[in-house]
Amino acid sequence: MAEPATGPDLVYTRVFAAPRTLVFECMTRPEHLTHFWGPAGTSAPLEHIKVDLRPGGVFETVMVSDADGSRMPTRAVFVEVTEPVRLVWVETQSGMTSTATFVELDDGRTEVEIRQTNAPEAYRAPAARAGFTTSLDRFADYLDQQGST
C-alpha cells in the first residue's frame, strides 16, 4: 500500500496486559468484538458482525444505540492480514484505512496501535463522498443522541 500523501494520520495506542495472540484474536473474532467494539452507550450485536479474515474479506459491524436502538453500520474490507502482528482494513464507503499493529513487549504485555489514514483523501474522492457523508451523518446523529440522554 502506498503511503497517503496528504493529511496527518490519526494514531491511537494502548498497552494491554495480555499476550499478543489473545489480543489479536479479540480484534478479529466476532465473539470477542461484540464485547468492546461499540463505544459507551452502544452495543455491537454478535449476529451483525462479519469477519472474513483474509485480504479481500469483509469486516462488517453494526453499532446499536442503547438509548433508542438506532444503528450505525460500518462495512470494511481487509487489505492485509498478518497474524498476529498486523491488520489493515479499508472502510468501503469512506476509503478510510485503519492499520492495527500488535507489538509484543518484554514484560508479556501487548501494545496495540491503530493508525487511521486516508480520511482527507476519502473526502476528496467524489465516489466516496456520498457514502462518507452518510456515515458521518449517522455518527453525528448518534453522538447527538448520546448527548441528549
Partner 1 sequence: MRMSTVLETQRLDATFAALADPTRRAMLARLAVHDATVNELAAPISLSLQAVSKHLKVLERAGLISRGRQAQFRPCHLEPTALLAATDWIEQQRRLWSERFDQLDGHLRELQGRGSDDG
Residues lying near partner 1 in the complex (CB under 8 A): 6-7, 10, 12, 14, 16-18, 22-23, 26-27, 32, 35-37, 39-40, 112, 114, 116, 119-121, 123-124, 129, 132-133, 136-137, 139-141, 143
CB of 89 to partner 1, least distance (A): 14
Identify whether 4 is preceded by a cis peptide bond (ω within 30 of 0).
no
The answer to whether 9 and 115 have CB atoms below 8 angstroms apart is: yes
Cell of 61: 459491524
In angstroms, what is the minimal distance from the CB of 78 to partner 1?
Answer: 18
- Report the amino acid identity of residue 50: K
Instruction: Tell me which residue of 2, 1, 3, 6 sits closest to 125, measured CA to CA.
Output: 6
Q: How far is the CB of 68 from partner 1 (least distance, A)?
A: 15
In the complex, least distance from residue 87 CB atom to partner 1, rounded to whole angstroms: 14
Q: Are 13 and 31 in contact (CB under 8 A)?
A: no
